[in-house]
Structure formats: structure tokens, C-alpha cells
């Protein structure tokens, strides 16, 4: 015990006495030697402000380190556990960083020339070298966990994931009155998997803001096709998955990140729901969760996200959103996929609006999912405006979208949920050979084709569906995809129908300009089913 106290005393004298004194003397010597060449009226206030802010962050870093380890940050007593929360979840060496910045601010305030040209460079280089040697020790001690920690943190400038998380958390509280509960249910240490229902484009950001820690979300590979989005989403720790075919690479990547002690984010539905009801879980997601039986699953119940930005809506609107963390669960060893889906669905399915729906409601874009009139059942006749009203241009029926996302016919007392209305108007497997009739009129579209990693734009044209093939006609040669060769149909966003098939198999992305992409997916899938008896994969 006495030896430990001597080490602590020696550390304090060396790092909090001798080192600052030597740096101050070096700055003063540099000032006398080089003269006040960098003096300016604003340097002293700016330097003192930097010193105050950095000093506060330095104090926070020391307190968090002491609480996590039970002792002061002394290199002779390395921590037994990797600290991954608080400021240590953003910067790998916050104590060294903020000590350097605090000293730099003080020195610039009094000896700007000596500090900037002499003592501060010496301190920065010394801290960098010392931190590098310390990192090698951490790598030996924590192995893959430190590799994952390094992926999520930085030495100086915070990574994009932390910047986005902080900015969106502020935006969510101001714009969406965002509230979080159940934080005590979060596992104390990773790895674990965060699972939530997917009802809005903003869902990943709400989960990230609620969790308060870096999250490696499984996301569609379409986000990684172009250089700039690929750079952004890789910095946001996204894990790309190909939706139209089995993706072994993604499963291996998820397992590797879990072994590195990371937190994985997953939407088992794999896509945003079109209505206010949850979609079914994808077999690949259930298979992955069942294979990772030793990894805790943290359910998050998001409520209100569909109301603020439904998939068919063109822009978000104000509303109330909440997130609640439920108790973690493990996939049971003898649990079937259906049993696991039922158990998880009960934990993540939104139960009620979070504090009321946004008002006023807007139906703009609803013709994407209600792609034929609920009264006369004619296709492509539904029109919406800026308000809550939409109607049929053929039979002149009018409907109102109510704040609870039920639909009422104008002048009628009966209401129908958006989910039930969608079931009424959407094409199903029972449509049989007539399922291609909705696409008798060609649709204006843009085509891009190629591999999933790179799609080459082929320009605008007309898309039509015949009895045996999908045809895109433009100024160039017609592009034909045999219906028997279609393996998967995917809707990206709300307007892009992606068809994977052909000989050899390619990815064709049709951006529908005047008709519903969902209608085309349903019609093509039904036509393929009527020909072969087996529909292509759809997500």
C-alpha cells in the first residue's frame, strides 16, 4: 500500500508539477528568444477560453476514468476493463488531448510566440508518442475489443457517427419532442444487438440518439453504390447487406463486429412498412438472431415515427416520438423462428401514438400505397394534394386521412384503417393471370443497370409489362428481362423498383415517375407467380 501511494505521489509530482513547469519555462524562453511576433489583441481571450473549456473536459475525463476503474489515471496502474462510455467513447485519449489543449490555451494567452512555436509542438509530439506506446499495451490487453473501440473513436476530431448522433439528438428534442425511457435496461457492456420496428426513414437516427453510443446498423447496400454516400455511410458505421440475394459477407461482417465488442443495429423487417402496421420478419434476420444465441438482444419500442414520416410521404413533419428500451432477451436454444418473431414483435411493436399524432395530417404521396380507388378499384386514379384529402379522378369519390391514420370516405360515417384499406386495394397472390392488367399502360421511368456495386444510368423511357417479359423502351435498344429469369423484386425508397434477374443476372433499377412502384412490384410478382407457381423474392 505504501509503495502504491509513493507511485501515485511521484506521478502527481511528475505529470502535474514538473511537466507543466517545464513547458511554461520552455514557452517563456521561446518568447524571450523569438520575441512577441504572434501577439494580437484577441489571442489572450481566445486562449483563456480554450483553456477553460479544455480544463472542464479534462476534469470530466478524470472523473469518468476514476469512476470506471476505482483509481486515478496513472499509467503504472492500467485499467482492468476497457472504458467505452462517456468522453472515452468519443476520444481514445481524452486526458492527454484536453491536457494539451488546456495548456496550449494558457500558454497562448500569455506567451503566444513561445507556446505556438516551441512548447506546444513539444507537448503535442510527446503526448502522441506516449499515447501510441499506451495503445500497443491496450491492444495486447484487450485484443479485438480494442480494435472495435478504435474503429469507433478518434484521437483528435470526433468521428462522424458522434457528430450526427449529437446533432440529431438536439434536433429530435426540438422538432419531434423526443423522449427516451428504459435506459436502465441497456446491457452494461457490448456486444449486443439492438432490434426495432422499421416504420420511418429516421428510425436509425432515433435509435442512435436514444442509445447514446456508436451503433453499427445493418443497412441496404444501395447506400454504398456511389462514392459520396459510401464514404458517409461507412463513417456512420453502416454494414451493407444485399437485399435481393443471400449475403454471406454481411453475416460474417456482423459476427466480426460482435467479436470486436461492437453494438449491432437491426430491423428484422429489413424495410420500412408501407402502412401503420408492422411487416413480417425476414428469414435471414431471424436466422442470424437464432445463430447468435449467446448475444443479448435489446428490443427498442419506437412510437410515433410512422406519423412523422411515413414511407409514402415526401417529407417529414412535426410530431411526438418516443423510444423505450425493453429488457434484453436471448434467443432460446429450442425456439422456432415463428416463436422468436412473436416474442420480439410483442416487445418492439408500437402500441399507441406517442402523445398524439402530428397535426395537420397530410395525405400527399398516399397514392403510392393506395394505388387504386377503394370505391371503383380502378388503377392510377387516386390523386392527393397538400392537405388530408385525396380522391379518385374517375368515380370522383373523396376520402380524408385522419390523424390516427384511418381513412374516412367524405360524407360517410365508416372509417377504415390504412392497413385494411391497403389490403383491399393491393394486388395479392389470388390475382392470378390477370395481375398484369394494372400495368397495361406503360409507365414513365428512368433506368440504371449493372451490378449492385455500380449502376450505369441508361436514361428515361417507358416501362411496360407483357405476358412473358418486362420491357424498357427508350431512344436506344430496348431492355428486356424475361419474367422467368427474375429472381428478386426490391423497392428502394418509395419510387425505385429494383429487379434482379436476366441472363446473365443483373440489377435493373427503374425509377417510376408517374405510377406507383409498389403497384409494379405487386403486378410483376403476381405475373411471375402465375407463370411459374413461385413468386420472386420481394422486400
Query: For 176-214, how does the pLDDT look when each residue is reduced to its tens digit (9 = 90+)?
Result: 999 999 999 999 889 999 999 999 999 999 999 999 999
Model confidence at 4: pLDDT above 70: no
Cα 457 to Cα 406: distance, rounded to the nearest angstrom: 39
Model confidence at 5: pLDDT above 70: no
Among residues of the chain, what percentage have pLDDT more than 90? 48
Please report how many Cα atoms fall inside a 13 Å half-sphere around the Cα of residue 402, on the Cβ side.
12
Mean pLDDT on 381-408: 90
Model confidence at 256: pLDDT above 80: yes
Mean pLDDT on 397-417: 86
What's residue 538's pLDDT? 62
Which of the residue ranges 73-82, 389-398, 429-438 would you say has the lowest mean pLDDT? 429-438
Distances in whole angstroms, Cα of residue 539 to Cα of each of 136, 224, 260, 323: 45, 18, 30, 25
What's residue 355's pLDDT? 46
What's residue 329's pLDDT? 95
Q: pLDDT-based confidence at 24, cuts 50/70/90?
A: confident
Give the residue ranges of DSSP H helices in 260-371: 283-291, 305-308, 337-348
Distances in whole angstroms, Cα of residue 127 to Cα of each of 22, 95, 274: 15, 10, 53
Distances in whole angstroms, Cα of residue 227 to Cα of each of 336, 456, 497, 506, 528: 41, 14, 22, 21, 35
Model confidence at 433: pLDDT above 60: no
Model confidence at 354: pLDDT above 50: no
Cα 501 to Cα 483: distance, rounded to the nearest angstrom: 8
Report the first-to-last Cα separation within the chain, whole angstroms: 63
Residue predicted with more confidence, 44 or 505: 505
Among residues of the chain, what percentage have pLDDT more than 70? 90
pTM: 0.89
Cα 430 to Cα 460: distance, rounded to the nearest angstrom: 33
**Contact in structure between 111 and 30 (CB atoms under 8 Å):** yes
Q: pLDDT-based confidence at 45, cuts 50/70/90?
A: confident
Which of the residue ranges 125-134, 439-448, 512-521 would you say has the lowest mean pLDDT? 125-134
Closest CA to 199 of 334, 417, 349: 349
What's residue 367's pLDDT? 93
Amino acid at each position: 500500500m505504501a509503495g502504491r501511494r509513493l507511485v501515485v505521489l511521484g506521478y502527481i509530482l511528475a505529470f502535474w508539477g514538473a511537466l507543466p513547469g517545464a513547458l511554461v519555462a520552455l514557452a517563456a524562453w521561446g518568447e524571450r528568444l523569438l520575441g512577441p511576433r504572434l501577439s494580437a489583441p484577441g489571442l489572450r481571450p481566445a486562449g483563456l477560453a480554450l483553456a477553460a473549456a479544455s480544463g472542464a473536459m479534462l476534469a470530466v475525463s478524470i472523473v469518468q476514468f476514476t469512476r470506471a476503474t476505482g483509481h486515478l489515471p496513472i499509467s503504472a496502474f492500467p485499467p482492468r476493463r476497457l472504458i467505452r462510455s462517456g468522453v472515452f467513447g468519443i476520444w481514445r485519449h481524452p486526458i492527454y488531448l484536453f491536457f494539451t489543449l488546456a495548456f496550449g490555451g494558457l500558454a497562448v494567452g500569455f506567451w503566444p510566440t513561445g507556446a505556438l512555436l516551441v512548447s506546444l509542438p513539444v507537448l503535442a509530439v510527446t503526448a502522441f508518442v506516449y499515447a501510441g506506446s499506451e495503445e500497443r499495451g491496450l491492444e495486447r490487453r484487450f485484443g479485438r475489443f480494442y480494435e472495435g473501440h478504435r474503429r469507433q473513436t478518434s484521437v483528435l476530431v470526433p468521428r462522424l457517427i458522434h457528430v450526427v448522433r449529437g446533432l440529431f439528438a438536439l434536433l429530435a428534442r426540438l422538432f419531434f419532442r423526443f423522449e427516451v425511457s428504459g435506459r436502465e435496461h441497456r446491457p452494461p457492456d457490448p456486444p449486443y444487438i439492438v432490434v426495432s420496428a422499421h416504420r420511418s426513414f429516421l428510425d436509425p437516427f432515433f435509435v442512435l440518439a436514444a442509445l447514446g453510443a456508436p451503433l453499427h446498423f445493418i443497412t441496404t447496400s444501395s447506400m454504398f453504390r456511389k462514392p459520396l454516400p459510401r464514404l458517409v455511410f461507412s463513417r456512420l458505421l453502416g454494414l451493407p447487406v444485399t437485399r435481393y440475394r443471400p449475403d454471406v459477407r454481411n453475416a460474417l461482417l456482423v459476427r466480426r463486429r460482435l467479436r470486436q465488442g461492437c453494438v449491432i443495429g437491426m430491423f428484422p423487417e429489413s424495410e420500412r412498412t408501407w402502412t401503420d402496421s408492422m411487416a413480417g420478419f425476414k428469414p435471414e434476420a431471424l436466422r442470424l438472431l437464432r445463430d447468435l444465441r449467446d448475444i443479448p438482444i435489446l428490443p427498442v419500442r419506437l412510437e410515433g415515427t410512422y406519423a412523422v414520416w411515413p414511407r409514402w410521404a415526401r417529407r417529414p413533419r412535426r410530431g411526438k416520438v418516443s423510444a423505450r428500451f425493453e429488457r434484453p432477451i436471448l434467443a432460446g436454444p429450442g425456439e422456432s423462428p415463428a416463436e422468436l418473431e412473436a416474442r420480439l414483435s410483442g416487445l418492439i411493436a408500437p402500441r399507441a401514438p406517442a402523445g398524439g399524432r402530428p397535426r395537420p395530417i397530410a395525405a400527399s404521396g398516399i397514392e403510392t400505397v393506395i394505388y387504386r380507388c377503394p370505391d371503383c378499384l380502378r388503377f392510377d386514379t387516386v390523386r392527393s394534394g397538400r392537405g388530408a384529402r385525396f380522391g379518385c379522378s374517375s368515380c370522383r369519390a373523396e376520402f380524408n386521412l385522419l390523424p390516427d391514420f384511418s381513412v374516412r370516405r367524405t360524407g360517410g360515417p365508416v372509417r377504415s384503417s390504412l392497413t385494411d384499406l391497403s389490403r383491399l386495394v393491393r394486388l395479392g397472390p389470388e390475382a392470378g393471370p390477370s395481375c398484369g392488367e394494372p400495368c397495361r399502360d406503360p409507365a414513365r421511368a428512368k433506368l440504371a443497370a449493372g451490378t449492385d456495386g455500380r449502376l450505369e444510368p441508361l436514361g428515361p423511357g417507358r416501362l411496360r409489362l407483357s405476358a412473358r417479359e418486362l420491357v424498357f423502351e427508350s431512344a436506344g435498344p430496348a431492355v428486356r428481362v424475361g419474367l422467368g429469369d427474375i429472381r428478386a423484386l426490391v423497392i428502394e425508397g418509395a419510387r425505385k423498383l429494383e429487379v434482379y434477374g436476366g441472363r446473365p443476372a443483373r440489377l435493373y433499377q427503374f425509377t417510376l415517375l408517374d405510377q406507383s412502384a409498389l403497384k409494379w412490384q405487386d403486378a410483376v410478382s403476381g405475373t411471375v407467380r402465375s407463370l411459374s407457381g413461385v413468386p420472386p423474392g420481394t422486400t
